[in-house]
Structure 1
Amino acid sequence: MVSRNPPLSLIMKNNFSGPGKLEWLARFMVSHGVPYEALYETSFRKFLREYVPNLVIPLPSAMESVVNRIGEHGVQVIPAEVDEISVTFDIFGDEDEGHKCIAFSVHYSPWVYGFGARRNIVYLRKLDDGPLSAQRIIEFIREAINKDQQKYLKIANIVIPNRKLAALFNMKNAVIKHTICFNHCVDTFVTEVLQIEEIAATIEKYREIVKSIRTNEELFVEFKRYLNGIGAPSDLPSYRKDGWRSVSAFAARCLELNDVITHLSFDVDTLSEQLLNFVHKMLEKCSQYSGYISQSGSSISQVIPTILLIKHEMKRQIDGLPPEETVKSIFSEIFMPLTSGEQRQQYDLASLLDPRFAYRSALYTEEEWDDIEKTLLVEF
């Protein structure tokens, strides 16, 4: 059997061969949910160099500028039978300079013969000057959609990127049902964990080690000699305070360099190694699960299972380490809004209706599933 899909190497070669390399890379990253910060990660840079040897890999800020320029798109017509949509949005840019953009995805299900696969249309628009409000955001989104579709579509649900913008929608005049983006909770959790004193001190210790090797000629020469002698890559990790994914890549590379760091007589105790390993594993899993729930076919049924996966990994990696209780406390505080009250009920019902998760003992006991089932019968 011959695959109809061309190999990735051919796709990359064909699309990166012309003058629009950065534009294609931008579309590739956006369509696959690859964050801009991935341009810092060693594995992603190696991936690009493998398939596009002559590509000058841009900084995340430069890539964001390229994405901003790609605002034009062909009009995708929403079927006539669809009258309600859901919207996910984010706002970015320099507010002080008046350069704010809004990216939003319109989700709908075209029901045909009783079945409907979720579809979406992605918009990227520059926002007009002026203060932000829930009403203004909604009107801007509606105007863009209605202009394309030539009809009025009700926005039934809206997913908000962070708590700051969510505060606008908590006002009485914002009647649309809204929730905060799950990935914002993940970002907040990771950011606060990285600020824990012991963890922050560990990362800083390794940053100073890398800085010493990079700036001391004698250490640098011995560093290169040692790694070349065992046939290992001799690149030093970069550390940038502009996103936790870059911290994850930094931690991963430092762990790979553990032997040479010891060889160079740097004082790194066992606890520091354990904490750095926790940072690497925890951030790696958070990145993986964020991607898992951010795919075009993802749904709210994945929220509770994903939270439980993060919780399980967190407990496994932090077990017995000094900041264990602090990490657990941060986790509970950040994810509490999603795991209690009416919102938890919605997620539980969605999980019950998803055959991938329904009645799984890893999620709930048999009695808990029975209670969720009773709630479903009452609701519907």
Structure 2
Amino acid sequence: HQNTMQVPKSETSPVIRSTGPSSHMPVSSTSDPSGMLKASFPVESDPKLVELLSNFLISQGIPLEATKDAKLQELITYLNPKSVIPSDNVMMEYVKRQNSIIKPLINYPKAIGPISVTIDIHDDLNEKFLVFSLHYFENIDERKNIIFLKKISNNQINAAHIVETIRREVNVQFHHDVKFRHSVSSNTEILQMIALNEHVEQHHICFYHNMSIFVTELLKVEEFSMGIDVLREFIRFFEPESDLYCKFQRFQSSRNEEIDLPSMGNNSWECTYSFLTKCLVLHESFETFCEVYGIDFYIYNNSFNDLIHLQRLLRQCVYYCRSMSTSSSCISQIIPAIEGLRRLIDREFPFQQFQQEKIQNLLQFSFENYKMQSHEMAVLLDPRFSYTEIFTEEKWKDLESLVIEDFVNNNWRWAINSGIQDTTLMNPRDQILNITCQKMEQRNLPEDSPQNPSSSAPKSINPRSRNRRCIICSQIKSLGEFRDIRKANERLLILIGCLYRKSITMERAETIMKNILIAVCITHIQETLDEIYRRLCITDVRYLNSCSIDRIQNMLVTIAILKPDMTAVSLRDALFEFLDRFDYVRNDMNYGKSILEGPPEASTSFTEYTKRKADSEEDIVMKKNPRKSAN
């Protein structure tokens, strides 16, 4: 077995530790190896090449012996004919020295607040590995995440060994003092094993686990399962190299359409989603092909419509899973995601009452363990979701009281060094008064404008009556008429649209571009969409791939002032994501929608989009005339 290690690329990059007994510390790249290391290398080996090559191979899980491969040697020689490729023994010496001088990953004495851990077990053939990530703070502004991979000796798993291994990674000298506030896992067996461990306070099941339960049950709904089964049987007709498959390829080539058939993959719900999406994209081709060659075994029109709604729901499930699988994801996203799914179900199945109720019941059953107060309090503390229509006004007030009580009753002394010492040093009565005032201000002040020191007490504490000021036109409107723009490329394109319409000056655009978060009227998004479509001379996002590169280059002239490093390719990517994301604004002028009812993220990457003519998936399919024939 070849031990594998991952080299951290930066201070905050995930790190995978060595699993072997001889190397306890992780390998870390260094920009300038010390003289001690240089002295150990043979004269003919460039120390920098040894460092870079060793780090690359280890980070990718490739054995150091790979340097003996003739093709790799040919590549290195081509890049630099003077290079002398180091032997695997030289690189192993470098790795051992790095492990001996590296500092511990976690500076335990400087960590503030609780430490949490995410745990999983990975089975690799006959070996088991403990995979876990530690989440902690050294300052209040940034959460650090470090990932570890440890081989389990003798493949024996027990709670004491798991917790002890993780505690030693936090602090090997004083591991007996290490405790964890939260543990999270998608593996229910692990949670059950460590549930009674005194060193872990709370245990949580991973969001993805519940999502998988929901989607798995969703795919068992008869209207959906029958349609998917028919599609799978239909695809099985086209055996590779068969006469029917060759006919389909010729048929698609004559129409300049995609010739590859959807892959059924494994039994995971993600593969089912990908398979279904590709089938719906090819639906018109399948229809016409069946008519030309007299094939009757295909889905009914009503089944096709059911699958369209299912695909939209699955697309949103994938989006929520991805958005909560990042290094910055947090517990406050869970309830808004569930609420977003609930509203999407209401929109997708308005005329199928029985089906709608069945799916809503599945949703409630699958996520019933996320009704704890801690999840709800987290939503209040997240400015992205607090005081929106997720909860009622009365519910928000109750949560305020719970947050204040939790803050006062729990001795948050760790926050003294985190910039909020003025509150933690107060007595309980003053703390309650101070926090209450802050929460009232949060409910009523626009998020994108500083508090006016001379302003009097808020006139209203009704969250639904909160108004906001647009950063573009400075008009004050209701919350439902705004969208928060956090992505830099979305902010850039909106500003470009406003510049084209002469709504703002270039100086003003440069100032706004520096903001991380801006709030704009939906009307400006609508105007930007219209302006982009007009300048690119297209009418729909699916035509972006065939747009003249000259028109995109013309846009770069203005964009280069705000973002000099953007290329034509990256601009095309940004345009695709922006047009796809805000397509609902262009097609639906109901500006009063809740923020949660915004569009799902683009379901495919732009690279996948360029591989086929049609990317707008179910929206394109719904515009086609379904073939009116029976199965």
TM-score by length of 2: 0.45
| 1:296 maps onto 2:339 in alignment | no
CA contact (8 A) 2:183 2:202 kept: yes
Query: Larger Rg: 1 or 2?
Result: 2
TM-score by length of 1: 0.72
CA contact (8 A) 1:93 1:99 kept: yes
For residue 142 of structure 2, give the secondary structure of its aligned residue in structure 1.
Answer: coil
| 1:77 maps onto 2:138 in alignment | no
Shift of 1:150: 7.8
CA contact (8 A) 1:86 1:158 kept: yes
For residue 156 of structure 1, give the secondary structure of its aligned residue in structure 2.
Answer: strand
2:344 alignment partner, one of 295, 301, 313 = 313
Shift of 1:137: 2.0
What per-residue deviation string (whole Å, max 9, x for no partner) do you get for residues 208-241 of structure 1? Answer: 1111123583432332233222221110011023
CA contact (8 A) 2:230 2:298 kept: no
Aligned to 2:627: none
TM-aligned CA distance change 1:143 to 1:150, over 3 Å: closer
Shift of 1:270: 1.7
What per-residue deviation string (whole Å, max 9, x for no partner) do you get for residues 342-375 of structure 1? Answer: x2x1111111111111111x21122211111122
TM-aligned CA distance change 1:370 to 1:118, over 3 Å: same
1:364 alignment partner, one of 391, 394, 397 = 391
Q: Could you tell me which amino acid in structure 1 is paired with residue 120 of structure 2?
A: D
Q: 2: distance between equivalents of 1:207 and 1:23?
A: 41
Aligned to 2:123: 93
Q: 1: distance between equivalents of 2:174 and 2:351?
A: 57
What per-residue deviation string (whole Å, max 9, x for no partner) do you get for residues 167-226 of structure 1? Answer: 324447675311111111111111121223332222111011111123583432332233
| 1:329 maps onto 2:361 in alignment | yes
Aligned to 2:417: none
Shift of 1:315: 3.1
CA contact (8 A) 2:248 2:259 kept: yes
What per-residue deviation string (whole Å, max 9, x for no partner) do you get for residues 38-86 of structure 1? Answer: xxxxxxxxxxxxxxxxxxxxxxxxxxxxxxxxxx997523252216411
1:240 alignment partner, one of 259, 265, 273 = 265
Q: 1: distance between equivalents of 2:61 and 2:332?
A: 29
What are the ranges of 5 or more consecutive residues in structure 1 without an aligned counterpart?
1-17, 28-71
2:305 alignment partner, one of 274, 277, 285 = 274
Q: 1: distance between equivalents of 2:265 and 2:309?
A: 19
Q: 2: distance between equivalents of 1:22 and 1:283?
A: 37
TM-aligned CA distance change 1:165 to 1:154, over 3 Å: closer
Structure of higher RCO (CA pairs closer than 8 Å, 6+ residues apart) = 1
Higher mean C-alpha displacement, 73-82 vs 176-185: 73-82
Identical pairs, percent: 29
Shift of 1:105: 0.7
TM-aligned CA distance change 1:290 to 1:188, over 3 Å: same
Shift of 1:148: 9.2
CA contact (8 A) 2:179 2:199 kept: no
What per-residue deviation string (whole Å, max 9, x for no partner) do you get for residues 256-305 of structure 1? Answer: 11112212144321222123223322222111111111211111111111
CA contact (8 A) 1:301 1:347 kept: yes
Q: How does 1:173-322 map to 2 (within 5 A)?
A: 175-214=200-239, 217-263=242-288, 264=290, 265=295, 266-321=297-352
Q: Could you tell me which amino acid in structure 2 is paired with residue 77 of structure 1?
A: I
TM-aligned CA distance change 1:249 to 1:357, over 3 Å: same
Q: CA RMSD in A?
A: 3.1
Q: 2: distance between equivalents of 1:333 and 1:184?
A: 13
Q: Could you tell me which amino acid in structure 2 is paired with residue 370 of structure 1?
A: K
TM-aligned CA distance change 1:349 to 1:272, over 3 Å: same
TM-aligned CA distance change 1:24 to 1:222, over 3 Å: farther
Shift of 1:308: 0.9
CA contact (8 A) 2:118 2:134 kept: yes
CA contact (8 A) 1:135 1:174 kept: no
Q: 1: distance between equivalents of 2:154 and 2:60?
A: 30
| 1:140 maps onto 2:165 in alignment | yes
Q: 2: distance between equivalents of 1:231 and 1:261?
A: 14
TM-aligned CA distance change 1:224 to 1:374, over 3 Å: same
